[in-house]
Amino acid sequence: MRSLATALAVGVEVALILLLVSLSSGMLRENSKRISGVGADIVLQPPNSSLVLAASTGAMSVKIADLVSRIEKVRAVAPVYLQLNTSGGLGLVWGIDLESFDRITQGFIYLEGRGFQGPNDVIIDDIYAEGRELRLGDEVKLMNHAFHVAGIVEHGKGSRVFIPIGTMQELVGTPRQATLMLITCHQPSDIPQVTAELERRLKSYPVFDMSSFAAQVEEANRDFGPIKFFTNTVVFIATLIGFFIIFLSMYTATTERTHEIGILKSLGANQGYISLLFLKEALMLGGLGFLLGLGLTFGGRLFFQWLMPTLHHQLPLWWLLFTGFLALFSAGLGALYPALRAARQDPIEALAYE
Amino acid sequence: MKTILEAIELTKIFKTGKIEVAAVQEVSLKVREGEFIAIMGPSGCGKSTLLHLLGGLSTPTSGRVLVDGEEVSSGKDAVRTDIRRRKIGFVFQRFNLLPTLSAQGNLEIAQEIHRNGSRNRKHVEEILNLLGLEKKTHHKPSELSGGEQQRLAIARAVINRPAILLADEPTGNLDTRNSMVVLKMIQELNRALSQTILMITHNPEAASIANRLIEMRDGRIVSQQQDGEWNRAEDRMSL
Ligand SMILES: Nc1ncnc2c1ncn2[C@@H]1O[C@H](COP(=O)(O)OP(=O)(O)OP(=O)(O)O)[C@@H](O)[C@H]1O
Ligand SMILES: [Mg+2]
């Protein structure tokens, strides 16, 4: 019974780590997919900008769009202003110029409504609409400003929420500025040439081809200080809890079984034999806990999917293995002292133990 | 006959706070191969303490113990444990079986410890048959009678053919009938397999099956009798 409770506690430890990782990594993957779904070939960022788009403060003049569009073999350029919205849930809002943005993306697929009709219109994707039960004409508060839903589009093109870039610039107080330029070329084979030309003309401006941009954004978000710190802290605390649970459980178990230890000693079992006996038991508990944790993770995932269908989950195999290792490691470490203490008992005292 | 066990001026002093108890004092003893010795004496005279010293479960304050030529009285736990594993079988008043294991499991774990891992199921079955426990192979100790438990404990103690069997009041927890069965078994081990045995007992009848009787008092051996002197010893005790 106690063993089961202990294994379950380790299972919760495992599930906690795996759910956190699966949620955050699913979000990052989904985010990067959406970015590559925009359809641009090349991304231009202003100097001193960050790949963690939500935290990027760099901006450049929209005039650069004109300069870029005159480069040979460039088919379209779209300035975008990205801003983190914190009112009513966290998320990146993209300020776009609908005309140029459509040229990059080949146009939104409207499930309902249409594009911006006025400065206070917002376009949202179907997942955002469903998650918040929004319909055409409904009010949405973004950056402390009221917008109205003008169109609901199929998801997958950069953001879930778009507002006119002019309104964005006004709200942020940066007129005629953009945080990204999305660029398409006439032919995919033109990309290297255009990239080279951009690098030549705009020396301090980072230039990416789209696939590497999406991948690097994902990577950068993963390594983003606060996120990484949060993940590491949760993993550390969960492991520590696992350690203490196993420690307590094995400490009690070895005390309860003092008499049995005395018997084994009288039979000539050495310290290695006895400590290994308890270490093995702890590792079994850790392993069982890990399996229970996998079950809990799976259940938790179903629960989250039901609770918040917009959330994406992705569990890298590496994390699965690492968490398994952590469960066994904390179990082994937690059992170490109780096992050694058990092995060092005086046989006569142990035999006399009631 | 070869000497299997030798104690040389063994002394064990327990210190509890400022009080010192000399539980065993300058005991010297030689046990020859195939001998069956009974130790008797009043409660608290140091019988168990002596047995623990002889079996390497504890270390003497002074003196030495040699089992089959090996020094057991060394201070090192690992050395004593190793000699216990290879040379000594214990039987106690409380049967000291492992409660979570079956009868068979209790025998197998003794084999496993003795051979550093390997088990021999066939030998286990033979022994269980010999004890009349073949139908109880898969029973837990709690599902066995006291007599059956003690028989199993004796089987476990001798399954690895120890140089000497040390028994501390093996019939102390048994009724007369079961005591008889267990004593018969011990005697049989000594006669048929020439198992060397040293047994503590309070029961003169039990002591009578041994071929040497040692009496202790206040931590010392006060008298020793061989087979022939038996009756006189009993006469003296009843006087
Ligand atoms: N661990 C210990 N600490 C202190 N004193 C002890 C300890 N073990 C035994 N003694 C003392 O040593 C003396 C001998 O004890 P021992 O158990 O050897 O007696 P015994 O002859 O086996 O008695 P019994 O027939 O009742 O089993 C006793 O006075 C006992 O109180
Ligand atoms: Mg005693």
Evaluate if residue B228 carries a pLDDT over 60. no
Q: Is the predicted pLDDT of residue B14 greater than 90, yes or no?
A: yes
Q: Which of residues 57-116 of B touch A (CB under 8 A)?
A: 57-58, 77-78, 81-86, 88, 90, 92, 96-100, 109-110, 113-114
B3 pLDDT band (50/70/90 cuts)? Answer: very high
What is the crossing angle of helices A258-266 and B77-87, to 10°?
70
A67 vs B9, more confident: B9
Separation between Cα atoms, residue A56 and residue A63, nearest integer Å: 20
Give percent of chain B above pLDDT 70.
93
Q: Are B217 and B45 in contact (CB under 8 A)?
A: yes
* 3-state secondary structure (DSSP) of residue A93: strand
Mean pLDDT of chain B: 89
pLDDT score of A89: 65
For B175: left if phi > 0, alpha if psi spans -120 to 50, otherwise beta; the answer is: beta
Per the model's pLDDT, the better-predicted residue between B229 and A252 turns out to be A252
Q: What is the pLDDT along chain A (354 residues), one digit of tens a residue?
A: 788 888 888 898 888 888 888 888 887 888 778 877 777 888 888 887 777 766 666 788 888 888 888 888 888 889 999 888 877 666 788 999 888 888 888 888 899 988 899 999 999 988 888 888 889 999 998 888 999 999 999 888 888 899 999 898 888 888 888 888 888 888 888 888 888 888 888 888 888 888 787 777 777 777 766 777 888 888 899 889 989 999 999 999 999 999 999 999 999 999 999 999 999 999 999 999 999 999 998 898 888 878 776 667 777 888 889 989 999 999 999 999 999 999 999 999 999 988
Q: Count of CB atoms within 10 A of residue B184's CB?
A: 11
User: To the nearest whole percent, how much of chain B has pLDDT over 90?
Assistant: 72
Which chain A residues are within 8 Å of B58, Cβ to Cβ?
A: 346-348
Q: Is A87 helix (H, G, I), strand (E, B) or coil?
A: coil
Give the C-alpha distances (Å, rounded to integers) separating A20 from A228, A289, B12: 12, 18, 62
Task: Report CB contact under 8 Å: A264, B85.
Answer: no
Burial class of residue A122 (count of CB atoms within 10 Å of its CB; 0-12, 13-18, 19+): buried
Closest CA–CA distance from residue A270 to any residue of chain B (Å): 6
In tens, the pLDDT along B151-178 reads 999 999 998 889 999 999 999 999 999 9
pLDDT tier at B237, thresholds 50, 70, 90: very low
Name the percent of chain A in helix, strand, coil, to the closest 5.
60, 15, 25
Taking CA atoms only, the protein residue closest to ligand 1 atom 14 is B46
Predicted ipTM?
0.91
Position B238 pLDDT exceeds 70: no
Asked if residue A163 lies in contact with residue A147, where contact means CB atoms within 8 angstroms, the answer is yes
What pLDDT sits at residue B183?
93
Task: Name every residue whose Cβ is closer than 8 Å to that of residue A98 and which is 6 or more positions away in sequence.
Answer: A115, A116, A164
Confidence (pLDDT) at B225: 81
Of A278-287, B80-89, B128-137, B178-187, the one with minimum mean pLDDT is B128-137
Contacts of residue A297, Cβ cutoff 8 Å, sequence gap at least 6: A14, A15, A18, A19, A22, A315
- How confident is the model at residue A316, as a pLDDT? 80
Tell me the C-alpha distance between A62 and A64, whole Å.
5
pLDDT score, position B232: 47
B235, pLDDT greater than 50: no
Within its chain, how far is the Cα of A324 from the centroid?
Answer: 20
Domain-wise residue ranges, chain B = 3-101+150-236
How far does Cα A114 stand from its chain's mean position?
32
- Alpha helices (H) in A37-125, listed in sequence order: 63-69, 98-105
Q: Do B156 and A267 touch (CB under 8 A)?
A: yes
Q: Looking at residue A147, what is its pLDDT?
A: 93
| Residues whose beta carbon lies within 6 Å of some atom of ligand 1 | B 14, 16, 21, 23, 43-49
Fold of B3-101+150-236: Rossmann fold (3.40.50)
Mean pLDDT within B15-41: 94
CB A349 within 8 A of CB A262: yes
**A260 in contact with chain B, both atoms CB, cutoff 8 A:** yes
Instruction: Please enumerate in sequence order all residues whose Cβ is within 8 A of that of A194, keeping only pairs 6 or more positions apart, or say none.
Output: A41, A42, A71, A72, A73, A74, A183, A185
- CA–CA separation, A352 and A331 (whole Å): 30
